[in-house]
Amino acid sequence: MSKSPKVNVSVLLDPESSARRSKTITALIDKGFELRESLEGIGVLLGRAAPSEVNALSAVAGVLSVEIERSDYAPQ
């Protein structure tokens, strides 16, 4: 696991993989994901991970995407 600072991420889960959801969550945690909130009804997990771990999290079976929370929005 990485020692770099962790950032907030959201993980979108594949609805076709709902039968193996607990295995997907366990695999994410094993790869460094810190689960903070589970919105399983809509297939979204919220948590933290090191930026260097995002590609590994994206490769977990049952994961559609991993997005890093942005904080660089400019005022309009």
In-domain check, residue 18: yes
Q: pLDDT per position in the chain (76 positions), as tens?
A: 557 799 999 999 999 988 899 999 999 999 999 999 999 889 999 999 999 999 999 999 999 999 999 877 677 6
Q: How buried is 28 (Cβ within 10 angstroms: 0-12 exposed, 13-18 middle, 19+ buried)?
A: buried
Enclosing domain of residue 44: 7-68
Q: What integer pLDDT is reported at residue 18 of this predicted model?
A: 81
- Answer whether residue 76 is part of any domain: no
Within-domain flag for 24: yes
Flag whether 74 is in a domain. no
CATH of the domain at 22: 3.30.70.260
Structurally, how many domains does the chain consist of?
A: 1
Predicted local confidence at residue 72, as pLDDT: 73
Phi-psi region of 28 (alpha: psi -120 to 50; beta: other; left: phi over 0): alpha
Q: Is residue 75 part of a domain?
A: no
